[in-house]
Amino acid sequence: MMNPRKLIAKTPLHLTILLFAAIWIIPTLGLLITSLRDPASIAGSGWWTVFPKLFSGGQYSLENYVGVIFTEGLGRSFLNSLFISVPATAISTFIASFAAFGFAWMRFHGRTILFMLLVGLMVVPLQMTFIPILPIYAKLKLAGTFPGIWLAHTAYGLPLTTYLVHNFMAGIPKDLFDSASIDGASPLMTFWRIVIPISVPALASVFIFQFLWIWNDLLVALIYLSAKPDVAPLTLTIANLVTNRGQDWELLTAAAFVSMALPLFVFFSLQRYFVRGILAGSVKG
């Protein structure tokens, strides 16, 4: 048991943390509760009025979700989001792991300079790239297509993903490579048979990180897909909903929660990898 004096001394600490936790959780809680109420009660009273009878049935339903998924086209957008994020993440992780290995363990002229360029490009604003690329995309008929946005996301993500995987691969003990090359393994074999299996945890972190980044992206989708609503991801559809149906909270809250469901699931089930990815990203090796 804690002695009372210590408990009193720690009260401000607990209260501060409680305040933070409240501010961090109440907005999302309000969104969740509202998304489950019927439109008339949403417009008639604040969501916090459910608290006195929080668990009494009859006041919640999934009707708003049915509405946004089937009539507002959010179901289609959910699939679009998946169909954009999964291949784009897979392609970029694949290409990044090759490049990371090249930069970490192969010798060639200009390696250091190129890698520094890569580090520099990590922070280049994407706004610098849209205007020259769009006409090329139009000519190649890539605008408004899935392959077009896969390529764009892959390229935009490459500096950071390559950097993260490189940080991990550069830490692999050199002896492993020496014994492999004595055994006559080519770099490609060393890469496939030794480096990739060792790097699985790091690759998983990068994959999750990149996946969430693409899933949550609005800007790139806005630029390369905006003309075509049938390929729009969740973020784009919801942004349009906010513009066109800004006061229909039963739609907006349910829609927002649909877009948050997968990231939250990923976050709670794979938190370990997610956090590891973030830690690897802070420039400290």
Partner 1 sequence: MEDGTAERERPQRVVRSLGTAFGRLVLKTGRAVYGWLRSIRWRSWAFVAPALVLIIFFLVYPTVMTVVRSFFGRTTSMFGAPYVGLENWHYVFTNDVMLTALRNNALWAVLFTICTTGFGLVLAVMLDRVKYEKIAKSIIFIPAAISFVGASVVWKFVYAYRPASLNQVGILNGLVVALGGEPVGWLLQRPWLNNILLIVVGIWMWTGFCMVILSAAYKNIPKQLLEAARIDGANEWRVFRNVILPLLAPTASVVATTMIVQVLKVFDIVYVMTNGNYSTEVIANRMYKEAFNYFNYGRASAIAVVLLILIVPFMILNIRRFAAQERGR
Site for partner 1 in 218-247 (CB under 8 A): 218-219, 222-223, 226, 234-235, 238-239, 242-243, 246
> Using the rule CB under 8 A, is 10 a contact of partner 1?
yes
Choices 27-35, 51-59, 176-184, 197-205 (CB under 8 A): range interacting with partner 1: 27-35
**Cβ-based nearer residue to partner 1, 17 or 62:** 17
Tell me if 200 contacts partner 1 by CB under 8 A.
no
* Smallest separation, CB 62 to partner 1 (Å): 18
Cα 137 to chain centroid, rounded: 25
Q: How many C-alpha atoms does 84 have within 13 Å on its Cβ side?
A: 31
As a whole number of angstroms, the distance between CA 166 and CA 114 comes to 13
Q: Which one-letter DSSP state was computed for residue 45?
A: S
Q: Encode 98-132 in three state secondary structure.
A: HHHHHHHHCCCCCHHHHHHHHHHHCCCCCHHHHHH
Measure the CA–CA gap between 279 and 93, rounded to whole angstroms: 18
45 binds partner 1 (CB under 8 A): yes
Q: How far apart (Å, rounded) are the C-alpha atoms in residues 281 and 159?
A: 12
Residue closer to partner 1 by CB (options 182, 227) is 227
Out of 8, 51, 52, 108, the only residue in the binding site for partner 1 (CB under 8 A) is 108
Name the minimum Å distance from CB 136 to partner 1. 8
Other CB atoms within a 10 A radius of the CB of residue 261 amount to 13
**Shortest distance in whole angstroms from residue 213 CB to partner 1:** 10
Nearer to partner 1, 36 or 152 (CB): 152
Query: Could you say whether residue 109 binds partner 1 (CB under 8 A)?
Result: yes
Asked if 74 and 255 count as a contact pair (C-beta separation under 8 A), the reply is yes
Reported residue count of the chain is 285
Taking CB under 8 A as the binding criterion, the range among 28-36, 57-65, 67-75, 196-204 that sits at the site for partner 1 is: 28-36
Of 62, 66, 106, 200, the residue at the interface with partner 1 (CB under 8 A) is 106
> CB of residue 96 vs partner 1: minimum separation in angstroms?
7
To partner 1, the closest distance from the beta carbon of 200 in angstroms equals 19
CB 53 within 8 A of CB 41: no
Residue 95 within binding range of partner 1, rule CB under 8 A: yes
Stretch that binds partner 1, among 59-67, 71-79, 140-148, 267-275 (CB under 8 A): 267-275
Q: Confirm or reject binding of residue 87 to partner 1 (CB under 8 A).
A: no
∠ at Cα 87 (150, 126), nearest 5°? 30
Q: Coil, strand, or helix at residue 38?
A: coil
Q: How far apart are CA 173 and CA 179, in angstroms?
A: 11
State which of residues 30, 39, 67, 87 lies at the interface with partner 1 (CB under 8 A): 30
- DSSP label at residue 227: T
Cα 65 to Cα 254: distance, rounded to the nearest angstrom: 6
Residues in contact with partner 1, counted by CB under 8 A, come to a total of: 107
**Quick one: which of 152, 160, 169, 203 contacts partner 1 (CB under 8 A)?**
152
User: Which amino acid appears at position 55 of this protein?
Assistant: F
